[in-house]
């Protein structure tokens, strides 16, 4: 296993279009996180899955954002009707269950909304 | 909501010098993480600190955690250019299962 994989790496889209990103976590990890990072800032939490259950969503995640993890393995993050303010790096991370766990991050998907 | 503050936000230093990056957080936590990020890349895990007084070292980097002071430090010894990157600390609050990140410290080590 080569770590957390995200696809695509880059996405340029026109305002108003829908986009979908995919994350494949490390295979034995049952926790999966989505974060958003804008230039010069630290990552901000968006949502978190334990297996297929979405356990928490940030207030940053407007109604235009939806995330799924249908079989407890890969996850998708969809943004509908994209806005210029959605331009950011979207990072996925995964971890094992446990109090001493650490999260491993994917390479990220850089979204540019024009 | 938990706040995580790093300072300095920018650090320019000469090779061979020592320096410390500070990470303060606003609520009780006994788990703190340090990550490195190169431009355009993802985050690389450096250290996981799990208890008060924990100290970990890897090469020229040493991280420590004081949970009573809600403070972690990342100390750089005899810096080299390859250490140039942005360093983030992140805190996880027990049972909340999400990481709160600082704004990062952008380190530039001049050859």
Backbone angles phi, psi at B44, to 5 degrees: -110, 125
pLDDT at A99 over 80: no
Q: Report the pLDDT averaged over residues A101-107.
A: 88
Q: Rounded distance, CA B35 to CA B46, Å?
A: 5
> Which member of A50, A103, A108 has the closest CB to residue B99?
A103
Report the residue of B24, B29, B41, B43 to disrupt the A interface, i.e. the one with the largest count of A CBs within 10 Å. Answer: B43
- B48 to chain A: nearest residue by CA? A102
Q: Rounded distance, CA A20 to CA A22, Å?
A: 7
* DSSP H or E segment with residue B3: none
**Would an 8 Å CB–CB cutoff place B91 in contact with chain A?**
no
Model pLDDT, residue B52: 85
Average pLDDT, chain A: 92
Model pLDDT, residue B51: 84
Model pLDDT, residue A34: 96
Alpha carbon separation from A47 to A5, A31, A34, A38, B96 (Å, rounded): 17, 11, 5, 16, 12
Model pLDDT, residue A97: 79
Record: contact A43-B94, CB cut-off 8 A: no
Cβ pairs A/B, distance under 8 A: 55
**Would an 8 Å CB–CB cutoff place A44 in contact with chain B?**
yes
Record: contact A102-B35, CB cut-off 8 A: no
Q: Rounded distance, CA A5 to CA A52, Å?
A: 18
> What confidence tens digit (pLDDT) does each residue in A31-44 have?
999 999 998 899 99
pLDDT at A58 over 60: yes
Helix (H, G, I), strand (E, B) or coil at B33: strand
Residue A68 CB-density burial (10 A; 0-12 exposed, 13-18 middle, 19+ buried)? middle
> What confidence tens digit (pLDDT) does each residue in A60-92 have?
788 999 999 998 899 999 999 999 999 999 999
Residue B7 CB-density burial (10 A; 0-12 exposed, 13-18 middle, 19+ buried)? middle
Tell me which chain B residues have a C-beta less than 8 angstroms from the C-beta of A105. 35, 42-45
- B98 to chain A: nearest residue by CA? A45
Model pLDDT, residue A1: 52
Average pLDDT, chain B: 91
pLDDT block averages, 10 residues each, chain B of length 111 = 91 94 88 92 91 92 94 96 96 76 95 85
Model pLDDT, residue B28: 80
Q: Rounded distance, CA B40 to CA B43, Å?
A: 10
Q: Report the pLDDT averaged over residues A25-30.
A: 91
Record: contact B31-A45, CB cut-off 8 A: no
């Amino acid at each position: 296993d080569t770590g957390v994989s995200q696809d695509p790496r880059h996405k340029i889209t026109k305002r108003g279009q829908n986009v979908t990103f995919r994350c494949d976590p490390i295979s034995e990890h049952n926790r999966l996180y989505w974060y958003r990072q804008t230039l010069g800032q630290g990552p901000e939490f968006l949502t978190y899955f334990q297996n297929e259950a979405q356990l928490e969503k940030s207030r940053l995640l407007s109604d235009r954002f939806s995330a799924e993890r249908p079989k407890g393995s890969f996850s998708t993050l969809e943004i509908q009707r994209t806005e210029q303010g959605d331009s950011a790096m979207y990072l996925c991370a995964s971890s094992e269950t446990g109090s001493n766990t650490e999260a491993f991050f994917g390479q990220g998907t850089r979204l540019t909304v024009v | 909501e938990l706040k995580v503050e790093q300072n300095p936000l920018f650090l320019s230093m000469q090779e061979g010098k020592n320096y410390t990056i500070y990470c303060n957080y606003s609520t009780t936590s006994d788990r703190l993480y340090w990550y490195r990020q190169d431009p355009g890349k993802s985050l690389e895990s450096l250290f996981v600190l799990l208890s008060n007084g924990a100290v970990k070292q890897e090469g020229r980097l040493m991280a420590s955690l004081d949970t009573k002071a809600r403070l972690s430090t990342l100390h750089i010894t005899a810096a080299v250019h390859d250490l140039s990157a942005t360093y983030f600390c992140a805190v996880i609050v027990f049972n909340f299962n999400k990481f709160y990140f600082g704004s990062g410290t952008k380190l530039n080590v001049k050859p």
